[in-house]
Amino acid sequence: MEAVEMNSVSLKRPHSEDDVASADEIKRQKILEKSKAGSDSGQSIETVTEQLKDIKSEMIPNDESEEQEEEDLGDSDEDGDPESFADMMKHGLTESDVGITKFVSSHKGFSGILKERYSDFVVHEIGKDGRVSHLDDFSVPVDDEVNFEDPSEETFTVLSDEDKQRLEELQLFKNKEASVAIEVIEDTKEKRTIIHQAVKSLFPGLETKTEDRDGKKYIIAYHAAGKKALANPRKHSWPKSRGSYCHFVLYKENKDTMDAINVLSKFLRVKPNIFSYMGTKDKRAITVQEIAVLRITAQRLAHLNKCLMNFKLGNFSYKNHPLKLGELQGNHFTVVLRNITGTDDQIEQAMHSLREIGFINYYGMQRFGTTAVPTYQIGRAILQNNWTEVMDLILKPRPGAEKGYLVKCREEWAKTKDPAAALKKLPVKSYQSYVWNNMVSKRIEEYGLRAVPGDLILKGATAVHIEEGDVDNYTIHDVVMPLPGFDVIYPKHKIGEAYKEMLVADNLDINNMRHKIRDYSLSGAYRKIIIRPQNVNWEVVAYDDPKIPLFTTDLDKLEGKPLPLLPVDGKFRALKMEFSLPPSTYATMAIREVLKMDTSIKNQTQLNTTWLR
C-alpha cells in the first residue's frame, strides 16, 4: 500500500506556542524532580495526593488557565490548525503499538481516506427492539389532558436578556438576593401569565408570584425548594397522564455525546444528569441516537432547533422510563472512503470477505488515546501500584498537544481536589484492551481461522472449553477470548500460557487481579474473536470535488436537499459502505480489514489530502 510522505511539508508550531510548550516542560520537570526525590515504586496514594496538589498549583495557576487549557487541548483535533494536529500525530500511536497486527481476509489491500470530512462517517443507533434511530419528524406531540397547556412560542421571547441573566444567577444561587423582580410593562392578565410561564419553564426550581409595588405590578421569582429543585424539575406542573420522560432523537455533527448533553443542559438551564442515553457516539462524525430527559417538554426541546448549530432534535415522545447505558443492540454505519486506489475486483473481494468472514474484533485506536504516552502504560502502572510511574506518565513532557484521559485527570483534580477521583479518570481498562489485542493476534497466528480444542465458547454467560470431540460443532465465530481479570478462565492451549507470560513480564499475577483500590480491580470478561457485520452493502462512486457530500443524511432528507449530481467518470473514486455492528465493536477495525492498512490517526494524517493542501 502507498502512503504519502510529509517530509517536505513544514509542520512546526508557531513560535508563541513553542514558548508556552517550553515553559510547561520546565514546570513538568520541576514537579517530576519533587516527586522523584526520596520516592520509589511503592509510593502511596497519600503521596500522590500531595503531588497532584503540585499539578494544580504549578500547571493550572488559576481558573482562567484551567478553562483555557480545556479549550486548547480538548479541541486540538482535526478541527484545529491542520499543521499543529499533523505535528502531534507524528508522535502518535500506530496499530502495531497496541497489538493490532493481523488480518483474516486474503484480498490485496488498497488505500483510502477515512473521515476526510466528518460527514463521511454517519452512525445510526440500533435500539434494543432492533429499530434503527432516524431523525425524520420535527412535530411536537399533543397532550390529551385538557387542563395542561404547554408554553406558547412567546414564552421564549418575553424575557429580556438581562432578565434571563438575573434569573439564571438566582437559579444557580450565584447572587445574594432571595428573589428577582420583573416589572410588567403591559399590565394585562395574559402578559402576566406568559411571564409566569416563561420563568417556570425556562428556570426549573424557581416559582413566581405577582406583587404590587408603588402602583406597578411585578412578577417576583424565588426559589421553591432549595438547591435540589434544580436537578429535580417541578412535579406539580407535569400532567399525570404524561410519561415523566421526553424521549427524542438527537442528530449531531462533529460533537461527542457528553459535549452535546452539556450544551443542551446549558441552554435548558438544567443539570446534565437528568439526561440519559444508551451509548456514547463519536465526535468526528454525524450521529443519530435516542436521548431521554426528565420532565422537559417536547416544545422546549424543539425550540432548541432555532438556537443551536450542529444539533437537531426530533421524533419526540413521552414515556415512563429513562434510557440505560448498554441497552442498545448496536449501531448502523454509513462510511465513505475517499480517493480509493483498489480495482473493482479488489473491492468486491474485500467487501464479500467482510460480509462472509468478518474482521478481528480488536479494540480500535481510539481506545488508547492519541498522545505520545499510550494510555495502556498508565493503566499497567496503576495495576502495579507504581504511583511514581503513574505520575511520570501523566506529567511526562511530550511533543504536540495532548487530549483525552490525561486532560480529564487534570480537569477532575482541578474541579474536586480529590486524587482518587482524578485517578479514576485514567484508563485502567485500556491495559486489558492492550493485552487482549496482543493475545488475539497471537491466537490467529497460532491457529488461524478455525476452532481448536482448548478454545473458549460462551454458553449463556459462562465460558467453557471446546473439547476434542466437539470441535467440529463450532466455528471461529463462536470462539471468545478473555479480558484478563479475576473470575475468568483462559484457553487450554498455547494462548493460555501466553496470557500468563505477558502478565508476568508486566509484574502482574494472572491469578490475582484484585487491586487494593477497589475501582482498579479488573473483573474479567469475554469477547468474540471475529465479528461478522450485518446488513453489509457497498457502492463505488466517482467524484471530482472532495468537498461535496456523497450521500444524503437524515437532515438533508428533512430539508429536501438533493444529492449533488456526480460525474460518471470523475477524477476520484470513493467506496460507500454500510454495515451494522453490535455494541463494543469498532467500525474502524472493519474498515481496516477492507483496506488492509493502518487506520491510526497518525497514518491517516499522512494520507488526508485536505491537510496537505
153-183: burial string, b at 16+ Cβ within 10 Å, e else: eebbebbeeebeebbbebbeeeeeeebbebe
Q: Decide which of 89 and 66 is more confident.
A: 89
Residue 75, judged by CB atoms within 10 A of its CB (0-12, 13-18, 19+), counts as: middle
Q: Read off the DSSP letter of residue 272.
A: G
Residue 483, judged by CB atoms within 10 A of its CB (0-12, 13-18, 19+), counts as: buried
pLDDT tens by residue, 468-483: 999 999 999 999 999 9
Average pLDDT of the segment spanning 558-580: 93
Name the most confidently modeled range: 58-72, 230-244, 385-399.
230-244
Q: Decide which of 141 and 40 is more confident.
A: 141
- Mind giving me the DSSP string for 197-225? HHHHHHSTTEEEEEEEETTEEEEEEEESS
Task: Locate 35 and state its grid cell.
Answer: 516527586
Q: What was the pLDDT predicted at 61?
A: 29
CA separation for the pair 199, 201 (Å, rounded): 6
Binned at pLDDT 50, 70 and 90, residue 244 comes out as very high
Q: What was the pLDDT predicted at 279?
A: 93
Closest CA to 433 of 530, 364, 354, 518: 364
Long-range contacts of 70-74 (CB under 8 A, 24+ apart): 70/407, 70/411, 72/401, 73/401, 73/402, 73/403, 73/407, 74/403, 74/407
Does the structure show a pLDDT above 70 at 34?
no
Does the structure show a pLDDT above 50 at 429?
yes
β-bridge partners, 574: 541
Binned at pLDDT 50, 70 and 90, residue 592 comes out as very high
What element of type H or E holds 86?
A: helix 82-89
Does the structure show a pLDDT above 90 at 327?
yes
Q: Decide which of 221 and 176 is more confident.
A: 221
- Mind giving me the DSSP string for 350-399? HHHHHHHT-EE-PPPGGGG-SSSS-HHHHHHHHHTT-HHHHHHHHH---S
Report the range of poorest mean pLDDT among 37-46, 298-307, 574-583.
37-46
Closest CA to 484 of 492, 467, 496: 496
Q: What was the pLDDT predicted at 128?
A: 93
SS3 content of the chain, % helix, strand, coil (to 5): 40, 20, 40
Percent of the chain topping pLDDT 90: 41
Task: Locate 435 and state its grid cell.
Answer: 493485552
pLDDT tens by residue, 256-307: 899 999 999 988 888 999 999 999 988 889 999 999 999 999 988 998 998 8
Residue 317, judged by CB atoms within 10 A of its CB (0-12, 13-18, 19+), counts as: middle
Q: Decide which of 409 and 460 is more confident.
A: 460
Q: Decide which of 391 and 74 is more confident.
A: 391
Average pLDDT of the segment spanning 135-147: 75
Q: What was the pLDDT predicted at 71?
A: 25
Q: Decide which of 561 and 404 is more confident.
A: 561
* Residues in contact with 233: Cβ distance below 8 Å, sequence separation at least 6, in sequence order: 204, 205, 270, 274, 294, 295, 296
Task: Locate 309 and state its grid cell.
Answer: 448549530
Does the structure show a pLDDT above 70 at 240?
yes
Does the structure show a pLDDT above 50 at 36?
no
- Find the angle CA(56)-CA(59)-CA(65) to the nearest 5 degrees: 95
Q: What was the pLDDT predicted at 404?
A: 54
pLDDT tens by residue, 87-137: 544 556 788 888 999 999 999 999 998 888 889 999 999 999 999 999 999
Q: Decide which of 442 and 155 is more confident.
A: 442
- Pair 87, 18: CB distance under 8 Å: no
* Residues in contact with 497: Cβ distance below 8 Å, sequence separation at least 6, in sequence order: none
Average pLDDT of the segment spanning 63-76: 27
pLDDT tens by residue, 543-563: 999 989 999 999 999 999 998
CA separation for the pair 480, 361 (Å, rounded): 10
pLDDT tens by residue, 452-473: 999 999 998 899 999 999 999 9
- Mind giving me the DSSP string for 247-259? EEEEEEES--HHH
- Pairing state of beta strands 121-126 and 286-294? parallel
Place of cell 514546570: 27
Q: What was the pLDDT predicted at 251?
A: 98
Q: What was the pLDDT predicted at 390?
A: 73
Q: What was the pLDDT predicted at 215?
A: 83
361, 537, 552, 589 from 119: Cα distances, Å: 25, 18, 10, 19
Does the structure show a pLDDT above 50 at 48?
no
Q: What was the pLDDT predicted at 462?
A: 92
Does the structure show a pLDDT above 70 at 19?
no
Q: Is 282 a catalytic residue?
A: yes
Binned at pLDDT 50, 70 and 90, residue 392 comes out as low
Q: What was the pLDDT predicted at 55?
A: 36
H helices within 425-540, ranges in order?
Answer: 428-447, 494-505
77, 120, 163, 282: the catalytic one is 282
* Residues in contact with 81: Cβ distance below 8 Å, sequence separation at least 6, in sequence order: none
551-575: burial string, b at 16+ Cβ within 10 Å, e else: bebbbeebeeeeeeeeeeeeebbbb
**pTM of this prediction?**
0.71
Does the structure show a pLDDT above 70 at 12?
no
Task: Locate 136 and state its grid cell.
Answer: 425524520
CA separation for the pair 20, 176 (Å, rounded): 39
Average pLDDT of the segment spanning 46-54: 41
Does the structure show a pLDDT above 80 at 49?
no
pLDDT tens by residue, 215-225: 888 889 887 65
pLDDT tens by residue, 339-370: 999 999 999 999 999 999 999 999 998 777 65
